[in-house]
Structure 1
Amino acid sequence: MTITLGTAAADPGAIDTGRLAVGETRDGSPARLPVAVINGADDGKRLYLQAVSDGNELNGLGVIREVVPQLDPAEIAGEIMIVGIVNYHGFQVAEHRNPIDDRKLNRTFPGDSEGTASERIADAVFEVAKTADLILDLHQGSTSRMINEVRVRCGRRHTMHSECLRLAKVFNCGYVLDQKGPEGQLARVAPDEGIPTVDPELGGSVGFDPESVQAGVEGVYNVLRHYEFLDGGPSMERQTRAKRFDQYGASVGGLVEYRADLGERIDAGDTLFAVTDTFGQVKAEATADNSGILWRSRRLPQVASGEYVCSVGTNVDSY
């Protein structure tokens, strides 16, 4: 059976690329998202894969750019539906939010066909996503520094939680944040439709980070093998899971000097960072309230009083 996504259409054993219309730009020209469909030669599950719902998070796009040319539809059982760039308007100007409506697009799912620009985009891609058996929504930690991790956002009491947690383990990044997400996230909304969905957060960088992109490529292939789109067994290891974040800000203004590295184990009372003045004199230090893992930190050293500095993943276990 031929499968379609926007202008892309592929018969069994074929691949095609095209565009999905999501409205018009300010000059009246069409806003169209780049899409691809890969229709396997044999029957199987359907995977929906998307990236760049936050317009400056490019590592997911780097993953898609690497994975798609390597896939041979003749070797695939099932179907893969891909939206390469979701936040069309934010991507054009390298901004996190959609500048047309000043919305964070990954807070607008399931969307609204008559709503704001972001809601219309979310509606168009969710119509595709909810036909899938599995969903991967590729992100990164914006332009902050962050470990490679996968987020399970449905909440631990959700009926789909175990399936989402399984998908996160299969992606095999090493770290999992298992914490209910904000309303409007795809990874929170899609499980309500009975679809296991996770949000891989592939590091944090300005532009592409090759190490994080490679981790994402390996994660996608792990998913394809585990769920039998491709032959071969996945490579899976125990994952380190955090169930919440502690966030830390600067008590004073100045320059941040970290006392721990990303991914480092932290004990309660350990010094996370100091803030110095222009001449290197320490003005204040921040210590950890709880044990955990240094998960994320700001990239630039300068901070004002009360400005975000870093996050520690807490309530840590493994599975």
Structure 2
Amino acid sequence: MSEFAFEVALCALLERERDEIIARQLGASVHGRRIMDIVCVEPGPDFAKRVAITPHEIPDAAIESRAGVGQARYYRNCFDMHPDRARSVAERAIEIGFFERVRQGSRLYVRQTARYPDEWFGKLVGIENKPDLAVPGDLELQLRKDVSLGVFDEVILATESYVTGAHLNRIPDEVGVWRFRPETGGLEVVREPTALDPAASGVDIVDEYAGRTDMRVATAAEKARLRRRMAERAYGKGWRSFDLPPCVHGAAKTVSGADGIPYCEWKESVVNPAEECGPACPGYEPADPPEIDIEAVRDRRTPWVANPKGPRTQSGLDRFL
């Protein structure tokens, strides 16, 4: 099984078992380069207020702007950035419903449609996927980066391999370990994760060379901003952030109980269309991708709401209050 198929199968299990926002492939570093395979976002006490604003990711610059919910302000005065960039952020915030456009003469004035709920998310759990522990890679360094930075509340390694004591000795003690069997959906907790401290400062391992490691301190404020950015990205993106196969053999299958999974009838397997579909594939025959409403699937199966009614509590979200 490919790493992509392993990843979407695990996302499918998490979607069934956890009432959380699940996302794939999110940036998880303040100063360096780190992409976390899966991120689970636990709803916080203000989750319903966040859901009511918009189904889209809210730009960080819009959240930190000086636009408020009271009097409308000239958009340039809301940002400390180039006017063109400020205009772009303001227009995007208007488009997704976080800002309201107010015209005063020829100038663009904006105000927020609702106060941003800082406590809309709780714990963030990062999951690194390594189906085969025998395959070489940077797993140890990646997990050391996660523990050293401490931006997640918990970090977990998910694998299909049998986990030995030697494997456990090569990764940080704080990292939890799951053995996941995607064909059956079985999950065994080999080791529970140790809670990290996102509220404290951390050390971001930027890069590692022979005999040298480059590191930078990440302040608590920088980590808090990264956590909010990850949570927003997860909310807007979800885990079905893939295209469907543009081929006559392509299908949107229900796999491991999850709808909308890219599947190839010719290969008889789950595929990653971005890497496996195209003229290089012997079975490729161009066609329109399968039709499926991914947003409707996500709305039906997760706490995310496709069409909120505005900045007020949504029906069915009282369990998060």
Larger radius of gyration: 2
Q: What TM-score, normalized to structure 2?
A: 0.23
More strand by share: 1
Which of structures 1 and 2 has the larger relative contact order (alpha carbons within 8 angstroms, sep 6+)? 2
Give the helix-richer structure, 1 or 2.
Answer: 2
